[in-house]
Amino acid sequence: MKATIKHLLITSIATSVSLIATVPAFATGLVRPSDIQFTTNGVANTTTNRPNINTWTYSSGTPVYDSTGIGGVRRRVLNDFNNYGNMQKAAAAISDNDSATNVELFTNGETITDNVGFTANLGKNRIKVESVTKADWKDGKLAKSWLTGFGSAYGSLMQGITTQPGSNLFKDFQTNFDAIAGYLSTNGFNSAGDANIGDITYNTQTNQLNVDLVGHLDVVTRYQPSNYARNSTGNPIFDQMLLALSAQSAKNKTPFQISEIAKITFNDQVDYAFSFRAIESGGIAGDRNTRTDTTSHTGVYRWTNNYASVPEPSSLLALLSVGGIAFARRKITKSVSN
């Protein structure tokens, strides 16, 4: 009898192990947004209260390509762009596994007055992605984080720009860091807060969140005197640094890359997504001015961060099963010893 009980328990354990091995939560890993709901300042948008968004995607039918953009690369044209407030197309662009198709948050105007965005499920987790307003800079954390990232990305380039005998642009940046951070904390950086969101994924195995921000593969022309008013921060010291860096990048024939900024709330944790490194998007905006604009939507800035995930029900089941196996093993040991 004891041998029979032992055999049955071992068979049960083997079956449990087999079931655990086939639990989907351990096998899938990568999840994309679902149950997407657009909001303005936390209030759900509807068809009668459309959000201030616009979507760039592809028209149906034969793909259209363009090689007149930066670098002469053959890119697919995002030629479906008259989509103001269209939540269906926006949701598709966010979850379609194509970083080039994207939705701009707070698309109408450069002075960002509202947190326009969306909430979505990522597995059992909840994410909110929004435009960035002046109020989001107020506590100083975003300003210091952004400036620290900027200094890390362009410190070497700034060191090569002499500003006065015995000094260079990077030393000036460090000297004025607190003053610039204080200015941004008070005034914000409006032209950077209307991010274009291309693709979002979360890996339930590694806990890594990826948010793709769509922008310009090279922003050199956006930080030159002709575009100074639109893209400046308003701080004369830092804006002169941006102009100098832009000019030096153009001289070196190297890209100057700065993304826009999105506010990310993953479950209850608030962060800000931005990057100073872009890769080719494979797309280009269909509504760009082809005489003056060679870079719209050509760059993808990927922001990553790790977050603890809400356990999947199958994960909890697996843990209970493992606990059951341990208990069963103790029972077997006890039965054999008797």
Distance separating alpha carbons of residues 192 and 213, to the nearest angstrom:
12
Sign for the CA dihedral angle at 156, 73, 296, 83 comes to: negative
pLDDT of residue 110: 87
Secondary structure (H, E, C), 219-256: CHHHHCHHHHHHHCCCCHHHHHHHHHHHHHHHHHCCCC
Distance CA 306, CA 263 (A): 15
Confidence at residue 16, expressed as pLDDT on a 0 to 100 scale: 39
Q: How far is it, in rounded angstroms, from Cα 257 to Cα 215?
A: 9
Amino acid of residue 168: N
DSSP character string of 183-226: HHHHH--GGGSSPEEEEEEEETTTTEEEEEEEE-S--GGGGSGG
Residue 151 is predicted with a pLDDT of: 98
DSSP 8-state secondary structure symbol assigned to residue 2: H
On whether the CB atoms of residues 200 and 127 are closer than 8 A, the answer is yes
Tell me, what's the pLDDT at 28? 63
Largest separation between any pair of C-alpha atoms in the chain: 93
- Residues 6 or more apart whose CB falls under 8 angstroms from that of 41 comprise 114, 115
Q: What is the pLDDT of residue 180?
A: 98
| 97/199 Cα distance (integer angstroms) | 6
Per-residue pLDDT at 247: 95
Please answer whether residues 131 and 106 qualify as being in contact, where contact means their C-beta atoms are separated by less than 8 angstroms. Answer: yes
β partners of residue 53: 105
pLDDT in tens, the chain (338 residues): 444 434 433 344 344 333 333 333 444 699 999 999 999 999 999 999 999 999 999 999 999 999 999 999 999 999 999 999 999 999 999 999 999 999 999 999 889 999 999 999 999 999 999 999 999 999 999 999 999 999 999 999 999 999 999 999 999 999 999 999 999 999 999 889 999 999 999 999 999 999 999 999 999 998 877 776 778 899 999 999 999 999 999 999 999 999 999 999 999 999 999 999 999 999 999 999 999 999 999 999 999 999 988 875 554 444 444 455 444 444 444 444 55
Pairing of strands 65-66, 34-40: unpaired
User: Is 188 exposed, middle or buried, given 0-12, 13-18 or 19+ CB atoms closer than 10 A?
Assistant: buried
pLDDT of residue 1: 47
The whole-number pLDDT of residue 312 equals: 59
Judging by beta carbons within 10 Å of its beta carbon (0-12, 13-18, 19+), is residue 230 exposed, middle or buried?
Answer: exposed
The whole-angstrom separation of Cα 177 and Cα 167 is 15
Question: How far is it, in rounded angstroms, from Cα 300 to Cα 306?
Answer: 20
The amino acid occupying position 202 is Y
With both helix axes pointing from N to C terminus, report the angle between 236-252 and 141-159 in degrees, rounded to the nearest 10: 40
